[in-house]
A and B are shown apart, each in its own frame.
Chain A
Amino acid sequence: MGIEEIKKVAEILLQYVPATLKLFGATLLFSIPLGMIVALLRKCKIKPIEWLVSFYILIMRGTPLMLQVIAIYYAIPFVQTSDSLEKMPGFLQTLIGLVDIRDAGYMFNAVCVAFTLNYAAYFAEIFRGGIEAISKGQYEAAACLGFTKTQTFFRIILPQVIKRIVPASSNEVITLIKDTSLANIIAYEEIILKAKQQMQLYSSLVPLFIAGIFYLISTIVLTTLFSFIEKKLDYYK
């Protein structure tokens, strides 16, 4: 491939950077709060809830993300057209009925749901580790000073948890930017899908190489960002 062609391919791929970043951003936006909720539910004293949450984490971490993406994307149309829909509880019927699979945003939404559910499970385990690492004394001191449970969590526990989970979370976030490429399996138009098309068009590996550079740059940016955050949080031990 000549320099002109490389430039052309790069320009095409660049158009799909937003699609990749959109999936990356939306997954982070939803999976971090959901992960926090899951982590707290996992510590729930009501056993059935704890079991349910543990089961969810097992499935999400125990099966490939690619499989989850395919399953969720095809599950809704499958259920909508099958007669098993009528056997479901009313609220599920309504919920599934509301999804319009012909809607332009359906594909992105399905991918986003799959990624969010998967990443929330990983984040939940990181958060749980962070929460469990905070000593009982912190809760007791807060209780003796009259802080409510909510105040204790948000003012005293959470800031300490955040410092502890930054290194592990940075790993997840860096993995996520690369995992977004899995969405190409259902033809979500992102960088890898386009790179594959360009590769076939030009019978050249260069488009894949260009796509690789994008992920590399993203990783460098994220690594720098996280080491900056870690340094910022280093003011106490």
Chain B
Amino acid sequence: MEEMLQVKNLSKSYGNLTVLKDISFHVKKGEVVAIIGPSGSGKSTLLRCINQLEKADGGEVCVCGQTMFSSDESGKAVYSSAQILREIRLKIGLVFQNFNLFPHMSVLRNVTEAPIHVLKQPKTEAIETAEKLLKKMGLLEKKNSYPCELSGGQQQRVSIARALALHPEVLFFDEPTSALDPELTGEILKVIKELAKEKMTMVIVTHEMAFARDVANYVVFMDGGFIVEAGTPEEVFSNAKSERTKQFLERYHNG
């Protein structure tokens, strides 16, 4: 199967503090990868590096065969040209923990703004796509509302529609349910499961263990900036090799 994302020996530090060290994993087309681990383990920083919101120090990241950056002889990350970085940017989408919708735009405009002004799609086409996506998210009747008039769960569904409107090859989720109460969490997880059924390639940072186990093809457990363990949900959740993984998962099994 086609490789959608390759991460090799990625490292990142803030001054003396190493936040990511020797991170390697890859994602194939149609796969769902869940990244789990305690807070501060570097999960979000990893997503932010892949989405060009943070600069990595070393290693290599390739998206759909295009190199975002790779290390030179000294091990320092050398980024590709702005043109390539932009092409890569448009191939991936990111859903944030706190939605980051544009508060001054209606739901519909939140979804159509990038297709119209970034992809230069005709307005009618962008609106048609947006309405289709909003319908799928069960939010078509809210298209003229403003983000402040929606619940957290609805806002997050709009932000998923907004990301999908650019037809990304890979969709990243940075703790998409952490700002939501359990009831609203359910509606987001349902949407992500739907997308998984449609073979959308996704990388999800999450604290929802049951969900990760259920929906992911591949689970990565991170702690202290390292990948401690990675494998199928079965391997990680039921037959973890490392003590640290077992210890971490125990809390969820008991809780």
Interface residues of B (CB under 8 A from A): 51-53, 86, 89-90, 93-94, 96, 98, 100-104, 113-114, 117-119, 146-148, 159, 162-163, 166
- Contact B117–A236 (Cβ < 8 Å): no
- Contact B102–A137 (Cβ < 8 Å): no
Instruction: Give the residue of A144, A151, A236 whose beta carbon is less than 8 angstroms from that of B103.
Output: A236
- Contact A236–B147 (Cβ < 8 Å): yes
Residues of A near B104 (CB, < 8 A) are: 159-160, 163, 236
Which A residues between 194 and 237 are near B, CB-CB below 8 angstroms?
235-237
* Minimum-distance CB pairs A-B, first 3: A141-B100, A137-B100, A145-B114
Q: How far is the CA of A144 from the CA of B173 in the complex (A)?
A: 12
- What are 18 A-B contacts with C-beta separation under 8 Å? A141-B101, A141-B159, A143-B52, A143-B89, A144-B51, A144-B163, A145-B114, A146-B114, A146-B119, A146-B166, A155-B113, A155-B117, A159-B104, A160-B104, A163-B104, A236-B148, A237-B103, A237-B148
The smallest C-beta distance from B71 to any residue of chain A, in angstroms, reads 24
Residues of A near B51 (CB, < 8 A) are: 144
Interface assignment of A94: CB less than 8 Å from any CB of chain B: no
The smallest C-beta distance from A214 to any residue of chain B, in angstroms, reads 37
Given contacts A140-B100, A236-B147, contact A146 B86 (CB under 8 A): yes
* Nearest neighbor of A145 in chain B, beta-carbon distance: B114
* Nearest neighbor of A134 in chain B, beta-carbon distance: B103
Interface assignment of A147: CB less than 8 Å from any CB of chain B: yes
Residues of A near B117 (CB, < 8 A) are: 147, 151, 155
The smallest C-beta distance from A76 to any residue of chain B, in angstroms, reads 44
Interface assignment of A138: CB less than 8 Å from any CB of chain B: yes
Interface assignment of A156: CB less than 8 Å from any CB of chain B: yes
The smallest C-beta distance from A36 to any residue of chain B, in angstroms, reads 18
* Nearest neighbor of A233 in chain B, beta-carbon distance: B104
Q: How far is the CA of A237 from the CA of B100 in the complex (A)?
A: 14
Residues of B near A235 (CB, < 8 A) are: 146
- Contact B103–A141 (Cβ < 8 Å): no
Given contacts A163-B104, A235-B146, A237-B148, contact A145 B53 (CB under 8 A): no
Residues of A near B159 (CB, < 8 A) are: 141
- Contact B100–A146 (Cβ < 8 Å): no
Residues of A near B100 (CB, < 8 A) are: 135, 137-138, 140-141
Q: How far is the CA of A141 from the CA of B100 in the complex (A)?
A: 6
* Nearest neighbor of B87 in chain A, beta-carbon distance: A146
